[in-house]
């Protein structure tokens, strides 16, 4: 890592505080013999001559990105970001809420990569004084914590924005006693009720009082059963378009009270206009009066983490513009239903998205980092994707050697090791829904085997491609690493499941005894080891709230393996005539969709 020195008299005052802040972690210091020189210009770049790095910058984020490049001893005569706003959205609503210290660490790294916006996706994970049930036991951010992060981000040239929900996706709060009076359906607020707008006003006041930014994301996506609960009882049937636009107008008016410029996910307009309720229906019919009624101040965010061709993004951008809106693009770095960041799946989708955004000259772009199904993805692995994306967005080559060099200089996890961990994310043939096979294996119940059954004819691919990839990755990873520990657990579980199925089908008493006496205790020990490693990596990033969800899952799996061992013993002794779950043909794999959520895999009835 290159040691850098800057001179106070020769440096713009707006950069000094940022350089001092970065100097708390990186070899960046003030001195009389500087090797960093900053010049404000409209043509950003970084060059080195006689050991002195010349950073041409037009924004704080651009200047700090130049510092990051200099730390890695890299040059680029031109280093302009393709987007005016280039950011990320961090999911803080699926159990994992970053600690303030870790969030600051993340902000430093993002600044050195060139990001200038961070959205915190908080459904109910911030505190409202008027609503004690809002975010209770969820690690909710206090006003003081958001103010602290906002001030820290501002020094680094990063805009901190709230990304909240003002219609749907509020299941956790609405199922509490305190949320019942605001509830239309289990996850959706009751539109047209004054109490609802009182609550939304408190939400917006929280962000207005604690963030500098006058931009806020108000959510409003995937409200599929809008107007179908208490609202329907009160008002009778009304068009979704009518309900949605009326609610958006009221929320936009409250935003205006606080000086906010709102943005919202765009999917509901397309779903309501589609005969199949599909967001990506290119033939969706959105009536002219509906388009005209969309509040002028509201920006639409086009989210798309799925499509593989540039032309599809082109068409969707055109459709958004047909609504009279210049869209903000929300792409995705795949962290959901994954134990590690999935670089392969991200690359296939981000590259055409970026190409289309450049071609269509969009000005605002951000990566979403979702935590669906419990937020168990190892967060540090996504830095490799963020670094890769930043290099592409700034027109730089994103080759492995450059990214490994930058990773070392910016104190990120090894890019090489992250790519090995990412390679464990196997996509089975004919599975296009994005389910992470690692997650299916990790959470699958050893007796119900719903995940194993749903793999159907893909089981052979699992046994060959999956185990082959894991073996290859493990051979290149340090044996003591969390990556290696996780891969060993999953590999062992797949092999045990296959051997159990074979031994039971063939009446192999000796094989079943070996599984009971040796293999199951060994796998439980691996699960215990994984729990310790998982807790350590969680604690390094997040508040401890939410960890209980994963611990209950892992503890339950160990209990189920003990139950499996007991059943095998009872079967061997003749206490049980058979083990129905292990009988051939139990369940039809051809008819079972691939189970993906923990709740899909761990239960056969109510829970």
Ranges of H-type helices in 412-519: 415-422, 437-443, 450-455, 459-461, 467-475, 482-505, 509-514
pTM given for the model: 0.95
Cα-based distances in Å from 262 to 43, 50, 257, 452: 31, 48, 12, 44
The whole-angstrom separation of Cα 367 and Cα 358 is: 15
The whole-angstrom separation of Cα 501 and Cα 542 is: 39
One domain, residues 305 and 392: yes
Domain end: 20, 48, 71, which one? Answer: 71
* Mean pLDDT, residues 522-550: 97
Note the pLDDT tens digit of each residue in 400-411. Answer: 999 999 999 999
One domain, residues 383 and 468: no
- Domain with 567 in it: what CATH number? 1.20.120.670
* Mean pLDDT, residues 390-409: 96
Q: Is 391 helix (H, G, I), strand (E, B) or coil?
A: helix
Establish if 224 belongs to a structural domain: yes
Ranges of H-type helices in 156-275: 171-174, 194-210, 230-235, 240-257, 267-272
437 has a pLDDT exceeding 90: no
The whole-angstrom separation of Cα 482 and Cα 522 is: 18
* 283, two tokens: 């033939």
One domain, residues 256 and 392: yes
Note the pLDDT tens digit of each residue in 164-223. Answer: 999 999 999 999 988 999 999 999 999 999 999 999 999 999 999 999 999 999 999 999
Task: Give the helix/strand (H/E) hosting 294.
Answer: none
Establish if 282 belongs to a structural domain: yes
Establish if 427 belongs to a structural domain: no
The whole-angstrom separation of Cα 196 and Cα 198 is: 5
Establish if 229 belongs to a structural domain: yes
* DSSP collapsed to 3 states, 217-232: ECCCCCCCCCCCCHHH
Establish if 121 belongs to a structural domain: yes
Q: Which residues, in sequence order, are CB contacts of 233 under 8 Å at separation 6+? A: none
* 304, two tokens: 């798309």
Sorting pLDDT into bands at 50, 70 and 90, what band is 594?
Answer: low
pLDDT at 451: 85
The whole-angstrom separation of Cα 555 and Cα 528 is: 8
Burial of 376-390, coded b for 16+ CB within 10 Å and e otherwise, reads bbbbbbbbbbbbbbb
Residues written for the chain: 607
For the chain, the average pLDDT equals 93
Looking only at the bridges linking them, the beta strands covering 117-121 and 85-91 are parallel
pLDDT at 348: 95
One domain, residues 170 and 23: no
Please count the helices (runs of H) and the strands (runs of E) in the chain.
Answer: 24, 15
Question: Which residue range is the domain that position 9 belongs to?
Answer: 4-71
pLDDT at 426: 76
The whole-angstrom separation of Cα 140 and Cα 123 is: 10
* Mean pLDDT, residues 83-107: 98
Note the pLDDT tens digit of each residue in 125-151. Answer: 999 999 999 999 999 999 999 999 999
How far is residue 182 CA from its own chain's centroid? Answer: 28
**271 within 8 A of 279, measured Cβ to Cβ:** yes
One domain, residues 365 and 218: yes
One domain, residues 186 and 316: yes
One domain, residues 281 and 378: yes
pLDDT at 589: 47
**534 within 8 A of 376, measured Cβ to Cβ:** yes
One domain, residues 256 and 121: yes
One domain, residues 26 and 134: no
591 has a pLDDT exceeding 60: no
Where would I find the beta strands (DSSP E) of 50-158?
52-57, 85-91, 117-121
Establish if 478 belongs to a structural domain: yes
When divided into structural domains, the chain yields a total of 3
The whole-angstrom separation of Cα 68 and Cα 463 is: 43
- Domain with 56 in it: what CATH number? 3.30.160
Which of 243, 175, 161, 164 is CA-nearest to residue 202? Answer: 164
Note the pLDDT tens digit of each residue in 411-421. Answer: 999 999 999 99
544 has a pLDDT exceeding 60: yes
Establish if 166 belongs to a structural domain: yes
CA quadruple 252, 302, 377, 105: dihedral sign: negative
Burial of 24-38, coded b for 16+ CB within 10 Å and e otherwise, reads eebebebeeebbbeb
* 314, two tokens: 């082109």
One domain, residues 100 and 64: no
One domain, residues 120 and 224: yes
Task: Give the helix/strand (H/E) hosting 184.
Answer: strand 183-185
Establish if 417 belongs to a structural domain: no
Which of 546, 548, 541, 549 is CA-nearest to residue 98? Answer: 541
* 2, two tokens: 């290159």
Which of 97, 211, 220 is CA-nearest to residue 152? Answer: 211
Sorting pLDDT into bands at 50, 70 and 90, what band is 268?
Answer: very high
One domain, residues 383 and 475: no
């Amino acid at each position: 890592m290159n040691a850098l020195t800057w001179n106070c008299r020769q440096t713009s005052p707006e950069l000094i505080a940022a350089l001092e802040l970065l100097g708390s972690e990186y070899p960046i210091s003030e001195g009389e013999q500087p090797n960093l020189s900053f010049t404000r210009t409209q043509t950003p770049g970084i060059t080195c001559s006689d050991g002195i790095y010349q950073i041409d910058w037009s924004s704080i984020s651009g200047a700090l990105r130049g510092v990051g490049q200099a730390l890695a001893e890299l040059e680029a005569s031109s280093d302009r970001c393709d987007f005016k706003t280039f950011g990320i959205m961090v999911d803080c609503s699926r159990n994992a809420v970053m600690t303030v210290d870790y969030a600051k660490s993340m902000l430093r790294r993002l600044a050195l990569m060139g990001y200038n916006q961070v959205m915190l996706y908080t459904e109910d994970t911030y505190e409202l004084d008027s609503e004690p049930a809002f975010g209770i036991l969820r690690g909710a951010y206090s006003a003081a914590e958001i103010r602290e992060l906002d001030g820290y981000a501002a020094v680094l040239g990063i805009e901190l924005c709230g990304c909240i929900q003002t219609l749907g996706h509020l299941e956790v709060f609405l199922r509490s006693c305190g949320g019942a009076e605001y509830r239309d359906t289990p996850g959706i607020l009751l539109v047209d009720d004054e109490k609802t707008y009182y609550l939304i006003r408190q939400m917006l006041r929280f962000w207005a009082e604690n963030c500098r930014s006058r931009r806020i994301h108000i959510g409003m996506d995937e409200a599929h059963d809008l107007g179908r609960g208490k609202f329907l009882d009160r008002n009778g049937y009304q068009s979704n378009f009518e309900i949605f636009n009326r609610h958006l107008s009221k929320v936009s008016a409250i935003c205006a009270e606080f000086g906010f410029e709102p943005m919202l996910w765009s999917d509901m307009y397309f779903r309501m206009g589609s005969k199949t309720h599909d967001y990506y229906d290119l033939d969706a019919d959105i009536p002219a009066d509906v388009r005209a009624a969309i509040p002028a101040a509201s920006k639409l965010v086009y989210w798309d983490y799925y499509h593989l061709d540039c032309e599809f993004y082109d068409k969707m951008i055109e459709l958004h513009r047909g609504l009279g809106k210049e869209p903000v693009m929300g792409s995705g770095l795949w962290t959901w239903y994954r134990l590690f960041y999935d670089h392969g799946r991200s690359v296939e989708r981000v590259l055409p998205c970026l190409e289309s955004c450049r071609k269509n000259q969009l000005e605002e772009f951000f990566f979403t980092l979702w935590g669906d199904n419990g937020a168990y993805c190892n967060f540090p692995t996504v830095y490799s994707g963020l670094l890769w994306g930043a290099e592409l967005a700034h027109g730089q080559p994103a080759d492995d050697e450059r990214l490994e060099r930058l990773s070392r200089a910016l104190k990120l996890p090894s890019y090489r090791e992250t790519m090995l961990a990412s390679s464990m994310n196997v996509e089975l043939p004919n599975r296009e829904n994005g389910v992470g096979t690692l997650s299916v294996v990790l959470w699958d119940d050893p007796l119900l085997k719903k995940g194993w059954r749903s793999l159907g004819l893909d089981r052979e691919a699992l046994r060959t491609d999956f185990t082959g990839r894991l073996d290859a990755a493990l051979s290149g990873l340090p044996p003591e690493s969390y990556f290696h520990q996780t891969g060993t657990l999953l590999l062992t579980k797949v092999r045990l499941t296959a051997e159990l199925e074979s031994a039971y089908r063939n009446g192999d008493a000796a094989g079943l005894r070996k599984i009971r006496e040796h293999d199951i205790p060994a796998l439980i020990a691996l699960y215990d080891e994984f729990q310790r490693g998982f807790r350590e990596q969680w604690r390094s990033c997040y508040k401890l709230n939410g960890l209980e969800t994963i611990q209950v899952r892992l503890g339950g799996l160990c209990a189920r393996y003990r139950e499996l061992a007991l059943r095998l013993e009872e079967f061997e002794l003749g206490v049980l005539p058979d083990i129905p779950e292990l009988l051939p043909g139990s369940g039809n794999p051809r008819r079972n969709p691939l189970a993906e959520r923990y709740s899909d895999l761990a239960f056969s009835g109510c829970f």
